[in-house]
Every structure is written in C-alpha cells, then in structure tokens.
Chains A and B, each alone.
Chain A
Amino acid sequence: MSDDHVYLSLAEAGPGPDGEARWAYGTGFADPLLGVDAAPPVGIDPADLAAYCLMLGDDALVLSQRLIQWITRAPELEEEVALANLGLDLLGQARRLLTRAGQLDGSGRGEDELAYWREESAYRNVRLVELENGDFAQCVVRLLLFATAREELYRRLVGHADPVLSAVAALGVKELAYHREYAAAWTVRLGDGTEESHRRMRAALDALWPWLEELFTPHEVELRLGVDPSPLRAPVLAALEGVLAEATLPVPEVVGRAYVNGRGGRHGVHTEAMGPLLAELQVVARAHPGATW
C-alpha cells in the first residue's frame, strides 16, 4: 500500500500474486468442477453414483447451513472464525458433490438447482446433520460425531474410480481431520472443565449419540456401489471412545433412533427440523425463478 489515495490502493490490490488470489481463497469459483472430465467411470451405474454424491453432498450442505447459523452467536471470536472455516470447507465439498450428482444423473442440473429447487423428500442427508443447533456443547458433539465418521469414510474413498469423489475425499480427509481435532479439543475442555460444562456435554451426547447409527447403516445404493458404511462403525466408535475417555465423559448407553417404515434421511424421510431449515435456505432463490445471482 504505497499511497493513501483510494483509487491507487484499490488498483494495487488487483489480480496478481499480492491481490485477489490471496483473499477468501476458494470461494469465488463459479464452476466447481471446471476442467474435470464429466464422463462417468466405466463399470459404475451413473444413477447410483449420482445418488451417492447427493447423500454425501447433502450431509455437507445441511451441516454447513447449521454451522452458518452460529455466526455472530459463538462463545468467542476465535470460535466465530473456526466455525465459519468449518462451514466453508463443508460448503466447498457440497458444491463439488452436488455438481457431480447433476452431471451424472443426466438431468443437467447444477449445484444451485439441486440445492434450491429440490423438495425436502429429495434431500438425502442423514438426520444427525439437520437437527436444531442447541447449545455449544451440542455443536461440538455433532461435529465430533460427524467429522470422525466422515474422515474415516473419506479415507476409504480416496482411491475411488470416480475422479470427483476421489478428489473430494482426498481434500476432505485433511479438512475433516481438522474438524475432528477442533471438536475433540473442545470435547476434552468442556468434558473436563466445570461441572456445568460436563453436565451440558453429557446432555449433548445423550441427545445426539442416538443419531450416529444412521451414518453406518447402508442404503441399497451404497451396497450396489461397494461403499457399505457399516465397516466404519468399529473404528469410529473406538476413536470416539478415546476422546470421551480423555474428556472424562461416559459413552452414552442409548439406543439408535428408529426409521419410519424402514426409511430415514438417506431415503428422504427427515425430522421436523428439516422443513424450516430448507425454507430458510431456499426462500430467496425460489422467489426469483430463473434469476442468476
């Protein structure tokens, strides 16, 4: 910033090594899959792969929306920054996965058509990510459960035949490892902090643990694609138990939440929290059909 004249200073911050590229990296792109070969991998049913990308993309999008609701409400400024950061990572994953789903299902829908114009029953996220935010203990516990399971899953998808899924997983492993570490550090601080924080963490664990099982319950699409999530259960539980032990928190003894006639989030059957979440997410886009933003 060599001069304090506004015009010159603005011009100086233009594109280039010291300009645009350095700031808010990774948010401005308009095509999340620019330059990626759109052809489906040989030997895999593109409709199944599209459905699977939607499942993982919707998990990321919906949890991102919940994290975004924390902004301006976090307990400390450092947490504002961290939660925004986690939300951005998940939003980036969602954009790539939704775009990929639209390429593969033959509908030609882009990320925004999928995010803003699908009904609730077409959303395929697990119910854990859509539940109301609750207090910071619930924020931390949900992140811990989701990030531990998702990191474990991404680790296994790194070598997947689909280049987009493989690339999302490769970046996602690093992102989710940070999310898990952030959540684990807070789990330990809050579990082993004050009586109040310990009590809140136990309540949060009791409230959210029953929704964990859905992340390990295979959908027929996952079975056909050979990405059965049930083998994730043992390593994820072991990792969670390790964190809880350090946090002086007992592993909740609760049973999982039932499905509805055998159907849960992966089949489009959600909780009552989902409707208002989507109404808020979609309201502006739906008021202006066909508009570009």
Chain B
Amino acid sequence: MEAQFEAVIAADARVEPRDWMPEAYRATLVRQIAQHAHSEIIGMQPEGNWLTRAPSLRRKAILLAKAQDEAGHGLYLYAAAETLGVDRAELTEKLIDGRQKYSSIFNYPTLTFADVGVIGWLVDGAAICNQVPLCRCSYGPYARAMVRICKEESFHQRQGYELLMTLMAGTDAQRAMVQDAVDRWWWPSLMMFGPPDGASPNSERSMAWRIKRHSNDELRRRFVDMTVPQAEHLGVTLPDPDLAWNEERGGWDFGEPDWSELQQVIKGDGPCNAQRIERRRAAHEDGAWVREAASAYAAKQPAREGSAG
C-alpha cells in the first residue's frame, strides 16, 4: 500500500479519500486544510468590520459578496477536511480553544476603509501566491477546492486594486489613507509566506509529499516581484528602504521582516488575536440553541426523510 502511495506521489497524480495514505500525510493535510478553512472564516472579521460603514452602496455590495465568497471557501475547505475523517464541529472547537491556528495576518486591525482595498491587493495577492500551487497539491479534494478558491481570490485581488486606484485618483485624504494602509500591511503581508526556509519545520516533508511545491522564500520573492510594479502603477511607496532591483537575479531585493513581531502574533499576542477568537466563540455559542433545534427537528422527521429518500 505504501508503495502504491509513493508511486502516486512520484507520478504527480492525485491521492483520493479512499486511498491508503500514511498517517502523518493525513495529519499534515488535516492541519493545513483546517488552518486554511479557519483563515477564511476568521478572515471575514477584519473586512466585515467595514461592511456596515462602506462609503458607497456599490462598495458595500462588493464587500458583502466577498464576505459571502469567504464563507463559501470555508465551507468547501471544511468539506475537504471531512474527507480525511474529521468533522467540522470538531475543527471549530479546536479553533476556538486554540489547538488549531489560522493565518496570523488576520490578527492585525483594519483601521480605515482603505484597508479593505489593501487587504484585497496585498493579502489576497499573497494568498494567491501561496495557493495557486495548491491547485496541483497531491490530495485531490484539496486541489480541486483550491481551483475555485483561487479564481475567486484573484477576482477579490483585482477588486481591491480597483478600489485603491479609485482612492488614489481621489482626494488628498483618500491618497493618504491608502499610503497609511500600505505602510501598515506591507510587512505583515510578507510574513504570510511563513518563516525563512531555514526556520520552517514542516516544509521539507510537505514538499516531498507534493502538498507544497515551492519554498516560503521562493513564494515571498515571487510576491515581491509581482507587487513592486503594481505599487509603482498605483503611486504608493512600499515601506522598505532596502527595496532595490537586482539586475543579476532579475528580481527585487528586499529587507528582512520583523520576525520577532510575527512570533509574538503567532503565539497569540497580536493586536487582535483575542478579539477574533472571542467573536468566533460568541457566534458559535450563541448559535448552539439554533443548531440543537435544527437537529431536534430533523430527528422528528424520520418518516418524511424515509419516504423522500
């Protein structure tokens, strides 16, 4: 069985839910897919902070549709995780009590409406760099979920960029708002690719199993190369004095993120960690009576279910 699994991986084919797989492969995928699903759901909060205050009805509609897409992504990803023998309720419990993580980027606050655009441009942009290779991940259900998610994410990224273009063509206050948001989100966005390759404990095995296909540093460089010309076109300054074109490499050199701050955020002491989890916990607990009622009602309908099925 193990040989068959190795052969599937070597042939760059897909492992499917009923195939035999090493326990560590299963556990790695559960951890990664759950973390990804949790990120979609927690990620609704920082932007949701601006839903009620969006300054035009068109922007409100765009942001609401985006929040809806993210809830949908959470649903597909939890469903992909469920094919590995866990269930959504259990994963939600683990998120709420801190046994599973979500992307640390969502532990930063959204302080102005320009943050909505910058999250679309930089955070969704970084997420796309991380996620596009996952469309070819060795685990079939995850890879397939990622195809749809990546398409929607790239749409969100362009919507975010379009918002920023509009603001940059607007008033001085709007332009200042964009620059301020870029200053706050640039480094956290670079940190979304994870620690430097030398300090990334799970990377090597995930690459061997073709769950992951590029190293953290490689993806980070790709993101910077993609983003610098976009920043120039937009007319904002990226807050990195070391940013410089490297002729020899054909890419941009950039400074080192503040890894100690990232560690602090990962360990739970970011500006919004407690707030994000508290909101998720409150929604889950406040909804308990609704879920119980739905189960109780369903349990009263055996005859109807039977005749319909």
Contacts and interface: CB of A to CB of B under 8 A. Distances in A.
Interface of A: 1, 4-7, 9-10, 13, 20, 22-24, 26-30, 61, 65, 68-69, 71-81, 84-85, 87-88, 91-92, 94-95, 98, 111-112, 115-116, 135-136, 188-190, 192-194, 196-197, 200, 280-281, 283-285, 288, 290-293
A111 B58 CA distance: 9
A10 B159 CA distance: 13
Contact of A288 (B129, B173, B294): B173
B287 A75 contact: yes
**Chain B interface residue bracket vs A:** 35 or more
Given A77-B78, A196-B292, A284-B53, A292 B155 contact: no
Residues of B contacting A: mostly: helix
Contacts of A5: 132
Interface stretch (B17-25, B43-51, B242-250): B43-51
Interface in B60-86: 60-62, 64-69, 71-72, 74-75, 78
Interface stretch (B144-152, B190-198, B233-241, B266-274): B144-152
12 contacts: A13-B155, A68-B51, A71-B67, A75-B286, A77-B78, A78-B75, A135-B286, A193-B294, A194-B289, A196-B292, A293-B56, A293-B163
Interface in B125-175: 128-129, 132-133, 135-136, 147, 150-152, 154-155, 157-159, 163, 166-167, 169-171, 173-174
Contacts of A135: 286
B135 A1 contact: yes
Contacts of B169: 292
A85 B64 CA distance: 8
B290 A76 contact: yes
A288 B171 contact: yes
A88 B44 contact: no
A20 B282 CA distance: 35
The 5 closest A-B pairs by CB, nearest first: A75-B287, A193-B293, A197-B293, A84-B68, A24-B65
Nearest to B153: A13
Given A72-B283, A193-B293, A193-B294, 4 more contacts: A71-B48, A72-B44, A75-B287, A91-B57
B303 to A, nearest CB: 14
A20 B152 CA distance: 9
A248 to B, nearest CB: 10
Contacts of A194: 289, 292-293, 296
Contacts of B74: 77
